Amino acid sequence: MTPAEPRRASDYPSAPRFLRTQEAADYLGLSARTLEKHRTYGTGPVYRKLGCRVVYTIDELEAWAAIGTRRSTSDPSEGTGCILPSQSPRLIGRAA
């Protein structure tokens, strides 16, 4: 398996209960930075804080990825979203 290929639950035979950001990003086939940005903008998968650590469950990662499932490029739903700071809810309405 190359690092660019997304991982599946079956790739973790004795899967840890929680994955840290880098492991979760590898699992999804994303960079850790992209996952961090999604977390910042509120567009990413559900996560937990254990002390100072951010962790994800495989079930939540798969649920978030399933939101992006499409049959056609014309499907109307928004999916997991693109990270565009200019469209972030926190930034809308702010003076430039």
Q: Is the pTM of this model over 0.75?
A: no
Q: In the structure encoding, which two tokens stand for residue 96, read together? A: 């430039």
Mean pLDDT value across the chain: 80
Span 31-72, pLDDT tens digits: 999 999 999 999 999 999 999 999 999 999 999 999 888 888
- How would residue 79 be classed by pLDDT, with cut points 50, 70 and 90? low
- Evaluate if residue 9 carries a pLDDT over 70: no
- In this predicted structure, the answer to whether residue 30 has a pLDDT above a threshold of 80 is yes
Residue pair 29/4 in contact (Cβ under 8 Å)? The answer is yes
What the chain holds in terms of domains, given with CATH numbers, is 9-87 (1.10.1660)
Higher pLDDT, 82 or 92: 82
Longest distance between any two alpha carbons in the chain, whole Å: 50
Phi, psi of 53 (to 5 degrees): -90, 140
Distance, CA of 29 to CA of 23 (rounded, Å): 10
How far, in Å, CA of 20 to CA of 23, rounded?
A: 5
